[in-house]
Amino acid sequence: MAKSIKGYIDGKAVEVNAGETILSVARRNNIEIPTLCHLKEFNEVGFCRLCVVEVEGQKDLISSCDTPFEDGMVITTNSKNVENSRKSVLSLLASKHRFNCFVCPKESECTFYDRLSDQDVEITDFGSSKGRNIGIIDGPAIVQDLSKCVVCKKCVSVCANVSATKTLKFHDDLGADTFVSPTKGLTFAEDGCINCGACLKVCPTGTLQVKDDTAVLKNLLKGDENTVIAQVSYETIYALTERDKVETFEERLNIVLELLETLGFDYHISLDLGTNMVIEKQAKALKKHLESGSKTPLIASDYSFAKYIENFADELIPNLFSGKSEHLSQAVAIRNVICEEKGLDVSKVKIVSILPTIGAKEEILRDDNKGLIDLVITTNELALLRRNVKFNNQSKARIGIDTSIKKLTIKPLIEGYEKTNPTITDAVVNEVFKAKLSFQPIDDKKFSKLSIANINGKGIIKAETGTGAKQLVKYLSETAGHNIVYVVANGTTGGSMNGSGQPLSKEDFFTVLARRNKLAAELKAEVRTHTSNDELNAIAGKVADDMLKTSFKKNNLRK
């Protein structure tokens, strides 16, 4: 785009692209303007007024995030007026925020706290507050604490534009008492939430948070009565140890296992068995689907994407792969095969999945899945527990573990970790087509969340987020007969590596993702098969197919 407009910011001459906002021009020129509600492309609304600047010749301040730079503008971003205004808006927000930071799950990753700190706001001037609204909207995976909301509307924007569920709404009919929540009187689930976690990623405070189940976990681990098994995802191992100065996967695993042992777990197991079981069932289902000559694709999705289909695109329910997910499939095997083989009393076995995404917290409560897994905790919850253990350096002694031991006493339920990296999709495609996948974006803006791979004249689609689900419905109707046979879908923002259950970070989303992917890439990258491990293969072979089925229902929430 031609740079034809010129102006000044803090005395520096700048060139401007037509239509570019003042904030964008400033950032491009390394001039820092603080923001709180701004979310590029999604929420450029000027609500928080933190990004205000002074324009020469105007007495009123204007917000830089939603005001286009006009020719000849002379902008000041750091005048006394501007600085006072920023302090005032932050003080006003602080006057309606409940500061119970010592128990807030946002801990050191709170953007609001950072802004208060870097603008030198004296909170004491405004006294303590019970919060803008009092109340908690509780859910199995997401919890909203209304007392901490700063009404920035970021969550509402991503709920509409990323998740595409429009669960969170900006209730401004009450003017000064504006608040954000699902439709009044409805829970997140009743209002179509798919637990994608997009809102958790953007919330600048601890308002939207993952349901904290650490107390439930501590209760499960108390005493000797239960045999508690941790199912640990690979993504958890990378993310939990990403800041540790260690080199190998084994060292990372050891850190996690030492923590699990300290907390009181009896056994650990990777998700390799469950993953192999899903690969086998999904490959079988895809082969059968191809043989049937169906005109519509088989859709293999995570829990969030399937939930979107149940809620808003129920015509696709018959296309969903009807097998349980990895951690649930594995729990079936543990309860029905492994416990007997290992001589464990299944009635005393408690299974805890430690996962990078939050949807599983709700998934385990569905009728099909009840009684299989006792608790799902996220990597972030485990990270918080780790911080407490570290902080409390007497904790090992306190809970009766000899701190001098070098050899771990937590036992592997099955020896070893496969340490393989490629996805279930790669493995299924390898098994069915004997080919490698290479997705290309679809060259059409309206299908921005879809990409496509062609293998032997057959199309495979990759769809991401709830918006991807919405686009998929449209794409399939527009391309009927184009031989799309398989869809792999992920409704979770950030996928597994940077999912909503992974440790929070103030860093750029893609920086975090790249770092974790790099750690994962250190593992061998050959495409896995479900038959590569004889021991796992033998266990999987003893689990009846019908025990691994899951069903879907129409929720009739189409908006």
Instruction: Please report, as ranges, the residues that interact with another protein according to CB under 8 A.
Output: 45-49, 52, 59-61, 63, 81, 84-85, 87-89, 91-93, 95-96, 125-126, 151, 170, 172, 174-178
Shortest Å, Cβ 166 to another protein: 18
Shortest Å, Cβ 520 to another protein: 41
Residue 416 gets the label, from left (phi > 0), alpha (psi -120 to 50) or beta, of left
Question: Coil, strand, or helix at residue 30?
Answer: coil
Cβ nearer to another protein, comparing 174 with 215: 174
Cβ nearer to another protein, comparing 96 with 396: 96
CB contact set of 423 (below 8 Å; sequence gap of 6+): none
Cβ nearer to another protein, comparing 173 with 291: 173
Shortest Å, Cβ 73 to another protein: 17
Shortest Å, Cβ 37 to another protein: 9
492 to 203, 233, 489: CA distances (angstroms) = 16, 16, 9
Place of tokens 């204007």: 62
Residues 220-226: contacts with CB under 8 Å, at least 24 apart: 220/350, 220/352, 220/374, 220/375, 221/263, 221/264, 221/265, 222/264, 225/348, 226/348, 226/349, 226/350
Shortest Å, Cβ 35 to another protein: 13
Shortest Å, Cβ 203 to another protein: 17
CB contact set of 254 (below 8 Å; sequence gap of 6+): 408
Residues 362-367: contacts with CB under 8 Å, at least 24 apart: 362/139, 362/140, 362/141, 362/189, 362/195, 362/303, 363/303, 363/325, 363/328, 364/328, 365/140, 366/550
Shortest Å, Cβ 33 to another protein: 13
Angle at 452 between CA 447 and CA 456, to 5 degrees: 150
Cβ nearer to another protein, comparing 36 with 257: 36
Shortest Å, Cβ 78 to another protein: 15
- Is residue 474 a contact partner of residue 483, using CB atoms and an 8 Å limit? no
Cβ nearer to another protein, comparing 127 with 343: 127
Between CA 144 and CA 166 the distance in angstroms is 16
Shortest Å, Cβ 133 to another protein: 13
Shortest Å, Cβ 193 to another protein: 23
Angle at 359 between CA 354 and CA 365, to 5 degrees: 90
Residue 220: phi and psi, rounded to 5, are -65, -35
Cβ nearer to another protein, comparing 47 with 312: 47
Among residues 411, 327, 335, which one has the least CA distance to residue 375? Answer: 327
Shortest Å, Cβ 46 to another protein: 6
- Across 24-34, b (16+ Cβ under 10 Å) vs e yields bbbeeeebebb
27 to 9, 263, 506: CA distances (angstroms) = 11, 45, 18
Cβ nearer to another protein, comparing 78 with 95: 95
Between CA 346 and CA 352 the distance in angstroms is 14
Cβ nearer to another protein, comparing 36 with 485: 36
- Its sign, for the CA torsion 494, 370, 208, 157, is positive
Shortest Å, Cβ 50 to another protein: 8
Residue 116: phi and psi, rounded to 5, are -60, -40
Cβ nearer to another protein, comparing 88 with 219: 88
Cβ nearer to another protein, comparing 47 with 303: 47
CB contact set of 189 (below 8 Å; sequence gap of 6+): 139, 140, 362
3-state secondary structure 36-64: CCCECCCECCCCCCCCEEEECCCCCCEEC
Cβ nearer to another protein, comparing 178 with 254: 178
Cβ nearer to another protein, comparing 177 with 251: 177
